Copies of this chain bind each other. A is one copy, B any other.
Amino acid sequence: MPELRKDPITGRWVIISSDRARRPSDFAREKAEAHPGGGFCAFCPGNESKTPPEILAYRSNGSGPNTPGWSVRVVPNKYPALGIEGDLNRQGEGLFDKMNGIGAHEVIIETPDHSKTLAMLPEKGIEDVLWAFRDRMLDLKKDRRFRYVLVFKNHGLAAGASLEHTHSQLIALPIVPKEIREQVNGAKHHFDYKERCIYCDIIRQELEAGTRVVAENDDFVTLSPYAPRFPFETWIVPKQHESRFEDSPTHAFENLARALKLLLAKTDSVLENPAYNLVLQSAPLQEPSNAYYHWHIEYMPRLTKVAGFEWGSGFYINPTPPEEAARFLREAEIEVAVPA
């Protein structure tokens, strides 16, 4: 059983994932093998039995569970960071605090086509992936042990992807993670003083200034944040205030798919198909919807190495001003025709 442990100084939690335990020699071997597994892919149609049984699949042809015919398929991670069964069993260990590593770790296989990236899927295909995120969040929310679901995507080796077949992941956690708690607290602080959502304020200011705006459609603004940690870090923010992704109106999914496809096409063009991470930032699952936090997607291409300065300070050095990044992306001519 994995363990959740808390650093007693900073309050930061970590998952000590003993089921995936790795010895020194494993790290050296991994360095040598780029994509372990060779030619076989457990995410390809026909290999459904090589993954744990599916939790969700979108099928249009009436095919049965765990058989080909799906367009999006969600399965438990075969090597989960957290275990789904059991109680938290919070306890102390002298000075320290720990609990059982209870949670869910799922893989969203975004397409049956091994040769496609998320950016290459049609808008409808991307929209289906977004619906799968929502469906899983709504289902996991019913389990009151889970306080947060983080949906994320690692694309490319440098971004931590260990399998090539395009997929996203989600991890349901028994605690609200530090980064989210800080964002929610920061947004609440602004709201307490101004009675306005800080993200709504940012959208207004950015649309007026225009210098950091990459693109916009009826429901979403794509922008370079004012203080990005990474070069070409880009956020997709809904224009309409909503604290939780899973509460978004139906029409938002279509426009989010459009905004995401456009951003990925632009970054693939400008940055030559970079490795990247995508994270969905949404309000905690079990807390009521609120007027101060505003869900959004953060896109972070892996262009620079995070090094000693960043680890030691929590401070980031970004060599590309967001105004320049936004201009490059705004002006990028992309090959795929995207409806306005």
Copies held by the complex: 2
Residues of B within 8 A of A6 (CB): 227
Question: Which listed residue (B11, B183, B278, B318) contacts A17, Cβ 8 A?
Answer: B318
The answer to whether A95 and B15 touch (CB under 8 A), given A28-B272, A179-B314, is no
> Which of A18-26, A124-132, A137-145 is near enough to bind chain B?
A18-26
Q: Report how far A329 CA is from B157 CA in the complex, Å.
A: 28
The answer to whether A17 and B227 touch (CB under 8 A), given A27-B303, A152-B307, A171-B309, is no
Residues of B within 8 A of A229 (CB): 12, 14
| Distance from A332 Cβ to chain B, minimum over Cβ atoms (Å) | 9
Q: How many chain A residues touch the partner (CB < 8 A)?
A: 94
Which 6 residue pairs are nearest across A and B when measured between Cβ atoms? A160-B307, A279-B312, A152-B308, A179-B314, A177-B313, A178-B314
Q: Which A residues form the contact surface with B (CB < 8 A)?
A: 3, 5-18, 20-24, 27-28, 81, 93-96, 148, 150, 152-154, 157-161, 169, 171, 173, 177-180, 182-183, 186-187, 190, 198-199, 201-202, 205, 209, 225-229, 231-232, 270-272, 274, 277-281, 298, 300, 303-309, 311-322, 324, 328
